Amino acid sequence: MLRLLTAGESHGKALVSILDGFPAGLKVDLDAINQELALRQGGYGRSGRQKIETDQVEMLGGLRHGITSGAPLAYTIANKDNSNWQYVMKVRALSAEEEASDESKAQFLAKKIDRFRPGHADYAGLIKYAQRDVRDVLERSSARETASRVAAGAFCRELLKALDVRVTSHVVQIGTARSERDLTNLSIDEIEALCRSSEVYCADEKASEAMKQEILACQKEGDSIGGVVEVLVDNLPIGLGSYTQWDRRLDSLLAAALMSIQAIKAVEVGDGFAAASRKGSAVHDAMYPNVDTAEPGPPVKRPTNHAGGVEGGMTNGERLIVRAYMKPIPTIKQGLPSVGFPNFEADRAHYERSDVCAVPAASVVARAMVCLTVANLFTDKFAADSMAELAKSVSDYRKSCQFVSSRQPKGRD
């Protein structure tokens, strides 16, 4: 079983992560891990902080000569902006000299937060943990933490790639601008190539420009904007997940993973929301005997994939399609009506440097969380102490699920 534990604050020295249960023997391309981190920092509409940080993983354990050892993958991601928060985020108690320092006092006053931001964890977090400064909540609830998850997801993506499973993500919608391009017949690599040429990570060139205009309009208004991202996974074996318990169902696990991302407010698999207003005959994917191929393959074929590759809490062999809906970033220059702390008097919400739109970045985080979820199911179902036994176990299982000639219907020409 894969387990990810993260720690660290937004403006602290570093983010710290441990990814436990990772198989031994995987050759890891650290440049690919860092490339995912760079993509998380990119995308049209991001804040100025992305120009300060250049995220890179620093491995502390679990990797030797570029190959995983089976030990927990331990790594940090430095926060370069920490140098500008010397006193505010200092771990040790300030000395008497520092407390008396005009510079120290100025930094504390400038960075102290005494007004809640609607839509953030500020209010509930301060009450829950009995804090006296909203910053103690902001620093950990910040989406900066997702850098740790993107790195973990990138490790898992490398694992899945070694098993011939391909994963990508793209932006479907920002504000009212939506891509209507049909990606059904495009490969994962083709979709990814299209997204890499878009500043908003969208596979539709025309929609990309419309999305940029939506972001620009919000930026001029001092507002923020949300959208929809989609993650696609190809070549998954049939039967990952389970119907036997509620907490083992794949759609349940995917929903939990994606809803854990800051600002994600809804998740759908396949046709999801649209399916609720349709008749069953237009929702469920008809099945036909797969007798049209000379090569071994799945025993059935389907002309549609409304289910998004998931039936009964398990993969069904079709492309996995899952979407996450992101609300607009709550920190906006307009400053929504709010209250101050500790007196709870009427005020305006605190504003701190923030994105106008983080939907492109969210597509990278969503991809990471799906990779982590799916990779965990592989280690749960198959022997996975080493990549060699994992690959063999998966290969043997795939063969057992194939439609071989001896199972073809009688009377076929």
Asked if residues 385 and 357 have their Cβ atoms less than 8 Å apart, the reply is no
At residue 50, φ and ψ (nearest 5 deg) are -65, -20
Kindly state the tokens that stand for 100. 């008396």
What pLDDT is attached to residue 243? 97
Average pLDDT value for residue range 148-158? 98
Q: Which one-letter amino acid corresponds to residue 121? A: A
For 199, counting Cβ atoms within 10 Å of its Cβ (0-12 exposed, 13-18 middle, 19+ buried), the class is: middle
What pLDDT is attached to residue 403? 58
Q: Kindly list the domain boundaries of the chain, sorted by start residue.
A: 3-82+143-398
Asked if residues 320 and 236 have their Cβ atoms less than 8 Å apart, the reply is yes
227-252: pLDDT as tens digits: 999 999 999 999 999 999 999 999 99
Average pLDDT value for residue range 197-223? 95
Strand order in the sheet with 177-178: 177-178, 166-174, 227-234, 320-326, 264-269
329-366: pLDDT as tens digits: 888 877 789 999 999 999 999 887 778 999 999 999 99
Residue 392's contacts (CB-CB under 8 Å, 6 or more residues apart) are 383
Query: By three-state DSSP, how is residue 224 classified?
Result: coil
The highest-level CATH class for domain 3-82+143-398 is alpha beta
Query: By three-state DSSP, how is residue 379 classified?
Result: helix
